[in-house]
Amino acid sequence: MAHPDPNVERAMTSLLDALCSWERSTGRESYLVLIPAEKDEEVIVADSGKLIPLYRLNNQIISDQVLELLEVHDDPNRHHFID
């Protein structure tokens, strides 16, 4: 992971470390996707706090995983992600 702003890079590293620790100790899982609006910044994908190398991914893999996880959370009483 390389972000043009060192403060953001440090914050992302701290976030991923905290997610890893939290998820190891609780058995929970997460899928984090950061898609910068600018093309000169890297897309960041992490599964349970662990970075996934971008060479293992493509748009379809990321989209499918995000949709699958959003469907799990699609509760019209709390929030609604999928139409």
pLDDT reported for residue 40:
87
pTM beyond cutoff 0.95: no
Residue appearing with tokens 């799990």: 72
Label residue 74 by pLDDT band (50, 70, 90): confident
User: What is the C-alpha to C-alpha distance for residues 4 and 11, in angstroms, rounded to an integer?
Assistant: 12
1 found inside a domain: no
What does the CA dihedral 28, 36, 44, 56 come to, rounded to 10 degrees? 120
83 found inside a domain: no
64 found inside a domain: yes
Domain that holds residue 29: 6-73
What residues pair up with 79 in beta bridges, in sequence order? Answer: 75
pLDDT reported for residue 16:
94
**Share above pLDDT 70 across residues of the chain, in percent, rounded to a whole number:** 90
Q: Phi and psi dihedrals of 34, rounded to 5?
A: -115, 115
Q: Rounded to a whole number, what is the distance in angstroms from the first to the last CA of the chain?
A: 33
Q: State yes or no: pLDDT of 33 exceeds 70.
A: yes
Domain total of the chain: 1
pLDDT reported for residue 34:
92
79 found inside a domain: no
15 found inside a domain: yes
pLDDT reported for residue 31:
92
Residue appearing with tokens 């469907």: 71
28 found inside a domain: yes
42 found inside a domain: yes
